[in-house]
Amino acid sequence: MKAEQKEIFRLAVLRVFDANRTRFGLGIEGARHLAGLFGFVFPDRDETGEAIDYLARKQLIEEVTKRISPENRAWRITSEGIAFLDDQGL
């Protein structure tokens, strides 16, 4: 992906997490599937993982701690992520 596409994709992934404000979070496969709502039809797993890692490093999303099956990683949006989207008018 080019830099501009990557930025748009990261915003789409963040919006996916914003739409799913549960305490359980969302995994990579769910994020891939729901990114289609924003024009990214089932994006590459690695690119989605990179976007999630980036958003987590920026503290816009956080990993959900799981006691059972921690290998099934999940994330949820943070208050910083919600504020960022609000500031962007999204």
Euclidean distance between the first and the last CA atom of the chain, given in angstroms as a whole number: 22
Residue that has been written with the tokens 């024009």 in this structure: 39
Give the residue-averaged pLDDT of 60-85. 94
Q: What is the pLDDT of residue 75?
A: 97
Domains of the chain: 3-88 (1.10.10.10)
Give the residue-averaged pLDDT of 48-66. 96
Q: Residue 82 and residue 64: Cα distance in Å, rounded?
A: 16
Would the pLDDT of 83 be above 90?
yes
Would the pLDDT of 42 be above 90?
no
